[in-house]
Amino acid sequence: MAKRFTPSGFSLVELSIVLVILGLLTGGILAGQSLIRAAELRGALNEYQRYFMSSKSFVDRYFALPGDFSRAQSFWGVSSLPCNTTCTNAQSTGTCNGNGNGIIEHLGSPNLIQENYYFWQHLALAGLIEGNYTGRCGAAGSINSIPNQNIPASRLGRGGWNANTYTLTTGHAVHFNIASNENRMFLGVAQANNWATGAIMLPEEAWNLDVKVDDGKPAIGNMITRYWDDCTNAVSGATLSADYLLTHRSPACTIEIKGSF
């Protein structure tokens, strides 16, 4: 008599074990991603503290702001590329002088002033930060602020650090009200034809950092945010009592931290 074939398969117990294992693996992956993100956020805070202290050291050593330093060429040589006239991805020897007026500027044509990019180049040439920076905006028609080229890259996402002196006094679709002539470092994602100011973190993440370094409020204090219309519950850039929009579950914030450097 022919032997009858009996198909085999998983029992309910075996299927249950497989599902439990898959659940554990999925949970482990999600937990791992959360831990990595938390480490990146802590890294970003450490980056700011390092750049802030480097800027303070520069001022103590040279009696001027990095980027605005009017005697930079006396220390590190004249730039091999024209100053104040060129946006390029090329690396030069030497550097450009700032205009020494006490603020970190970025002005357009015809007299292109790029002190916000000289800022990082001066710090690197002084040996106060790691890296090698071009000291000028990226080639015309491209991304202007390029991490690891003219600004430092961040551990957080595709972010980069910027430095500038704000002269705004009223809020609009991007900023809250900002006191005139405040030096700020800000962290965001690189954007076409702009600084690295793209939204880089969830409102909850921005709030978490704000609580650690400041007052937990997005419109006031030493740490504020850009994009008040997405990152916060403000109804205008003048709503200084705003709170972070903690229910928003996609990147909507860029942080700006005031520095007394």
Q: Are 225 and 256 in contact (CB under 8 A)?
A: yes
pLDDT at residue number 68? 95
Report the 10 Å Cβ neighbour count for 38: 12
Highest mean pLDDT among 21-30, 85-94, 128-137, 192-201: 128-137
pLDDT digits (tens, 9 = 90+) for 54-63: 999 999 999 9
Please compute the mean of the pLDDT values over residues 229-234 and round it to a whole number: 92
Q: Is the pTM for the entire model greater than 0.75?
A: yes
Residues linked to residue 103 through DSSP beta bridges, in sequence order = none
Pick from 51, 60, 69: which is nearest to 128 by CA? 51
- Per-residue pLDDT at 171: 54
Element (H or E) spanning 256, and its range? strand 255-258
> For residues 142 and 152, which has the higher predicted lDDT (pLDDT)?
152
Token look-up 């032997």 returns: 3
Q: Where are the alpha helices (DSSP H) in 63-167?
A: 72-76, 115-125
Q: How many CB atoms lie within 10 A of CB 194?
A: 13
CA dist 259 → 51, 131, 214, 232 (Å): 10, 21, 12, 23
Please tell me the predicted confidence (pLDDT) of residue 3.
Answer: 56
Residues of 249-258 as b/e, b for ≥16 C-beta within 10 angstroms? eebbbbbbbb
* Mean pLDDT of the residues in the chain: 85
Residue 200's identity, in one-letter code, is I
DSSP, res 156: S
User: Residue 112's pLDDT is what?
Assistant: 73
CA distance 151 to 123: 11
| End-to-end CA separation in angstroms for the chain | 94
